[in-house]
């Protein structure tokens, strides 16, 4: 039994590294990863790259088209669109990252508990998950954000609560599969506690699936944040947000199309790169492709 555990440990430890190597060998996945890295770099180094303060108004530069001074033009009150796009991307990525981290921790833990113990514990958790899952995630996020009020923190809470049911269902299903393996039985025989089994065997074996879910949830979180901001219950103005910029830019779509083109392009590129990474990870993990 000890031999089973020892043989299984290194295989699990190298599995995540093998997945990333396979992702880099995939042309689409590698390209998406490079694009996402560039977007992250632009967001992280926004204070250095941006030439203007995203909140400063210049009444003498209202609705100016893209130029060498204002690369993406200016908005209706003279703010630099390029600076606002960079800082808006920063907020979107922050929301997406926080949602993914919190959802993976909470949803993964609840899903493992539900799948490992089963019985009445599983029944109670699944009934709660089904109740939360009766509404589409965007509608549920909108409802929660409207009750809590517009702020970045409340957007994170709203999107996280809407994404947790998906993680719980998938992790529960994978945990029930892992629970029947020989190394789990061996761990029980030698007296390992359920917590130790879930941490030492459940988490490493669930990590590939969690990576796929996390990459897809990242894109969904960014889109949801933009949608909530577009509807006025997300990131409050004057803080830059891609969704808010799209909402405000619709009033000048004929006069100043750059107000929606550049925020929409950044949003599209970010979400597309994340979805392509998720698809590539899913293809790598598909046993039929091995």
Task: Decide if 64 is inside a domain.
Answer: no
Higher pLDDT, 246 or 13: 246
Q: What is the pLDDT of residues 5-55, one digit of tens each?
A: 444 444 544 565 666 676 777 788 888 889 999 999 999 999 899 889 898
Residues 181-209 have a mean pLDDT of 76
Average pLDDT over residues 249-276: 90
* Residue 1 pLDDT class (50, 70, 90 cuts): very low
Residue 59 lies in a domain: no
**Is it the case that residue 4 has pLDDT exceeding 60?**
no
- pLDDT of 2 over the 80 cut: no
Structural domain tally of the chain? Answer: 1
Q: In terms of pLDDT, which residue wins out, 284 or 48?
A: 48
Tens-digit pLDDT profile for residues 54-112: 988 888 888 899 999 889 999 888 899 999 999 999 999 999 999 999 999 999 899 98
Residue percentage of the chain with pLDDT more than 70: 90
**Residue 36's CATH number:** 1.10.3720.10
- Confidence category of residue 3, pLDDT binned at 50, 70, 90: very low
Is residue 77, in this structure, part of any structural domain at all?
no
Answer whether residue 81 is part of any domain.
no
Is the predicted pLDDT of residue 250 greater than 80, yes or no?
Answer: yes
Percent of the chain residues topping a pLDDT of 90: 28
For residues 234 and 145, the answer to whether their CB atoms sit within 8 Å is: yes
Asked whether the predicted pLDDT for residue 122 surpasses 90, the reply is: no
Taking residues 168-178, report their average pLDDT.
87
Q: Which domain holds residue 107?
A: 2-40+91-289
**pLDDT for the residue numbered 97:** 92
In a domain, 124, yes or no: yes
Give the model's pLDDT for residue 211.
82
Residue 57 falls inside a structural domain: no
Give yes or no for residue 289 having a pLDDT over 60: no
Residue 83 covered by a domain: no
Task: Give this prediction's pTM.
Answer: 0.84
- The per-residue pLDDT of the chain, averaged, comes to 84
């Amino acid at each position: 039994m000890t031999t089973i555990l020892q043989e299984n440990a290194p295989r699990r430890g190298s599995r995540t590294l093998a997945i990333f190597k396979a992702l880099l060998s995939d042309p689409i996945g590698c390209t998406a990863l490079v694009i996402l890295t560039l977007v992250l770099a632009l967001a992280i180094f926004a204070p250095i790259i941006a030439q203007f303060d995203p909140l400063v108004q210049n009444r003498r530069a209202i609705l100016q088209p893209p130029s060498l001074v204002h690369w993406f033009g200016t908005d209706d009150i003279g703010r630099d669109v390029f600076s606002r796009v960079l800082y808006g991307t920063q907020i979107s990525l922050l929301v997406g990252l926080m949602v993914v981290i919190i959802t993976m921790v909470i949803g993964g833990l609840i899903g493992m508990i539900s799948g490992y113990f089963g019985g009445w514990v599983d029944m109670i958790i699944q009934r709660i998950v089904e109740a939360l899952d009766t509404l589409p995630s965007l509608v549920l996020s909108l409802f929660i954000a409207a009750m809590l009020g517009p702020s970045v923190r409340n957007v994170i809470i709203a999107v996280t609560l809407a994404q947790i049911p998906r993680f719980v269902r998938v992790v529960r299903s994978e945990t029930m599969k892992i629970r029947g393996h020989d190394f789990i039985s061996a761990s029980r025989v030698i007296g390992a506690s359920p917590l130790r089994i879930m941490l030492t065997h459940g988490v490493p074996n669930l990590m590939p699936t969690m990576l796929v879910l996390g990459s897809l949830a990242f894109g969904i979180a960014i889109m949801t944040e933009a949608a909530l901001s577009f509807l006025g219950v997300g990131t409050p103005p004057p803080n830059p947000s891609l969704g808010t910029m799209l909402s405000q830019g619709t009033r000048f779509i004929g006069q100043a199309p750059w107000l929606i083109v550049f925020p929409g392009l950044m949003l599209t590129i970010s979400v597309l790169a994340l979805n392509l990474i998720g698809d590539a990870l899913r293809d790598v993990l598909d046993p039929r492709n091995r």
